[in-house]
């Protein structure tokens, strides 16, 4: 058995370096190099200051400082370009992946998540998840700063590093609690966004009914019902970040003051120089720079929460296909003991049905009786929970993807016209069609007459073609006739 061409069976969205590993690696190197240059600058400034105070030539070290400042500016510009393009490429890759997988899963994806929620995941969550590689690279550079600052303090004098290490456990606990709380808040916030998007999609789809019934205000209230919970989740997210920033502000400056105080004592005992005191004060800021870590952790938490919502969709199994082809036959459709459930309710129970080839069949019944589900099973837009559906004696599950879609055509009550000209819409399908074939299908669906009355005929853009609901359905029928088996 095979999956649809765009299917993906793993729930892993991408690896640590993302879908553009070379660019991500370059960003990591540039970010780390910028951190390294930032760590070298205090040492160079301190050395230049010592030479100036001693009356010795300091031109070379001043030049080093200027070169490091210029290098930092260049690296910052490169980091901005690499980060922006990496975000764009990753987001584009995620959207293609998610769209392909949703199509491979089929209508079950919309039933499982809802069209609005899928759109929210495809648009908003994919954009947030697309920042994950950049956030990881930025977090790596943000971690390199404190580690490098601590090492530099130890090289100046071990007592300076010891002062900072005394408060390291407190800072680590603060960061751990912040990462955990932020992840929970962001996940809740994105879930509520999805609920609003799902309700809005339903309202947009039924806007004519809403307008006719005069229930616009009621529908607006229904769509915005999750808004208070969304607001609470958003405010909690900001409170968590504010609390973490406030706690770090209370701890980090004390550690930095402690380092400077110890450095002053060491200077008084002639164990370090004035330049080393200057460098130590800067390294204390770098080593205790929790604020940068808080920001980077928040970005990574948002990206991970969004990635989790994409993973939920990617975890849905794609429809499986076989490799068999249809034998020559009239198109005999058979349902054998078919049972299908929806929402925990048995809709079709052990249905046996034979439709001879060439038959025109209408299925009628009350709402919810399973008419649409029966049609979906016949064309394998859905699979039965039990039983088998066969076409010319071959189970639909055993047909290859191309064979199945080439043999069965579908026309829906609300056909999706995706843009382009009317000729392109009717001919839309896996294989290109000649204009003659398109017009023949339109005539069969009785759509040729009203299309020819348009000023540009078949070259009319869909957006510029006024049409009733019935005419739109005829275009959908024409498309099915053009490509159906």
Digit-coded pLDDT (tens) for 248-276: 666 777 778 888 888 888 888 889 899 99
Instruction: Evaluate if residue 455 carries a pLDDT over 60.
Output: yes
pLDDT of residue 249: 66
Residue 457 pLDDT > 50, yes or no? yes
Q: How confident is the model at residue 65 (pLDDT cuts 50, 70, 90)?
A: very high
3-state SS class at 368: coil
Does 24 map to a domain?
yes
Query: In the predicted model, what is the mean pLDDT of residues 218-229?
Result: 88
User: What band does 10 get if pLDDT is binned at 50, 70 and 90?
Assistant: very low
Residue-level pLDDT at 58: 86
Domain end marker among 314, 349, 367: 314
Q: How would you classify the pairing of strands 2-3 and 320-321?
A: antiparallel
Kindly give, in sequence order, each residue whose CB lies less than 8 Å from that of residue 366, ignoring residues fewer than 6 positions away: none
Q: Which of 129-143, 156-170, 261-275 has the lowest mean pLDDT?
A: 156-170
Note the pLDDT of residue 291.
Answer: 66
Model confidence pLDDT, tens digit, residues 231-247: 888 888 888 877 776 76
Inside any domain, residue 415: no
Other C-beta atoms closer than 10 Å to the C-beta of 469 total 10
Residues 159 and 221 in one domain: yes
Question: In Å, what is the CA distance from 241 to each residue of 215, 244, 256, 419?
Answer: 40, 5, 22, 44
> What average pLDDT does this structure show over 397-411?
86
Domain, as residue range, for 448: 422-483
Report the pLDDT averaged over residues 303-319. Answer: 88
CATH number reported for the structural domain that contains residue 279 in this entry: 1.20.1560.10
Closest alpha carbon to 485 in 355, 381, 332: 332
For residues 107 and 146, membership in a common domain is answered with yes
Looking at the fold, whether 310 and 332 belong to one and the same domain comes out as no
pTM: 0.76
Residue 461 maps to a domain: yes
The top-scoring range by mean pLDDT among 20-24, 37-41, 260-264, 267-271 is 37-41
Q: Please write the tens of the pLDDT for every residue from 415-434.
A: 877 768 888 888 887 778 88
Whichever domain contains 357, its CATH number is 3.40.50.300
- Strand, coil or helix: 312: helix
Q: Going by C-beta distance under 8 Å and a sequence separation of 6 or more, which residues neighbour residue 442?
A: 426, 448, 451, 458, 475, 478
User: Bigger pLDDT: 14 or 68?
Assistant: 68
- Check whether residue 250 and residue 355 sit in a common domain: no
Q: What is the pLDDT of residues 345-385, one digit of tens each?
A: 888 899 999 999 888 888 888 887 888 889 889 888 888 98
Domain closes at, from 356, 376, 407: 407
Residue 416 belongs to a domain = no
User: What is the number of structural domains in the chain?
Assistant: 3
Give SS3 for 347. strand
């Amino acid at each position: 058995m095979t999956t649809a061409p765009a299917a993906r069976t793993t729930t892993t969205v991408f690896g640590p370096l993302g879908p553009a590993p070379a660019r991500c690696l370059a960003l990591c190197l540039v970010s780390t190099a910028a951190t390294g240059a930032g760590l070298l600058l205090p040492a160079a400034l301190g050395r230049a200051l010592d030479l100036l105070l001693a009356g010795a030539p300091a031109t070379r070290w001043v030049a080093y400082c200027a070169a490091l400042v210029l290098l930092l500016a260049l690296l910052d510009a490169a980091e901005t370009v690499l980060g922006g393009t990496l975000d764009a490429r990753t987001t584009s890759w995620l959207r293609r992946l998610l769209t392909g997988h949703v199509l491979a899963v089929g209508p079950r994806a919309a039933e499982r998540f809802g069209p609005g929620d899928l759109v929210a995941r495809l648009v908003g969550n994919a954009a947030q998840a697309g920042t994950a590689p950049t956030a990881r690279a930025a977090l790596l550079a943000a971690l390199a700063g404190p580690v490098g600052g601590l090492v530099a303090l130890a090289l100046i004098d071990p007592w300076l590093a010891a002062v900072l290490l005394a408060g390291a456990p407190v800072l680590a606990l603060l960061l751990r609690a912040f990462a955990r709380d932020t992840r929970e808040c962001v996940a809740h916030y994105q879930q509520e966004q999805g609920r609003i998007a799902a309700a809005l999609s339903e309202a947009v789809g039924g806007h004519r009914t809403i307008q006719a019934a005069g229930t616009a205000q009621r529908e607006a209230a229904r769509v915005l019902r999750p808004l208070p919970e969304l607001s609470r989740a958003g405010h909690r997210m900001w409170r968590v970040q504010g609390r973490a920033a406030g706690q770090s502000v209370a701890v980090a400056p004390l550690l930095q003051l402690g380092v400077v105080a110890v450095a002053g004592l060491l200077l008084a005992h002639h164990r370090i120089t004035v330049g080393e005191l200057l460098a130590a004060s800067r390294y204390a800021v770098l080593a205790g720079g929790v604020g940068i870590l808080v920001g980077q952790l928040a970005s990574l938490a948002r990206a991970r929460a969004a990635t989790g919502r994409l993973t939920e969709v990617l975890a849905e199994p794609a429809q499986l296909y076989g490799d068999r082809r249809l034998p020559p036959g009239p198109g005999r459709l058979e349902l054998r003991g078919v049972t299908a459930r929806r929402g925990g309710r048995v809709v079709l129970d052990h249905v046996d049905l034979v439709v001879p080839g060439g038959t025109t069949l209408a299925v009628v019944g009350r709402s919810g009786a399973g008419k649409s589900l029966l049609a979906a099973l016949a064309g394998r837009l859905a699979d039965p929970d039990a039983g088998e559906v066969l076409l010319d004696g071959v189970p639909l599950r055993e047909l290859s993807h191309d064979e199945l879609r080439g043999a069965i055509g579908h026309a829906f009550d609300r056909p999706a016209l995706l843009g382009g000209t009317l000729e392109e819409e009717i001919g839309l399908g896996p294989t290109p069609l000649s204009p003659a074939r398109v017009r023949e299908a339109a005539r069969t669906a009785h759509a040729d007459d009203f299309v020819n009355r348009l000023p540009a005929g078949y070259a009319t853009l869909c957006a510029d073609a006024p049409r009733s609901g019935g005419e739109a359905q005829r275009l959908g029928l024409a498309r099915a006739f053009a490509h159906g088996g």
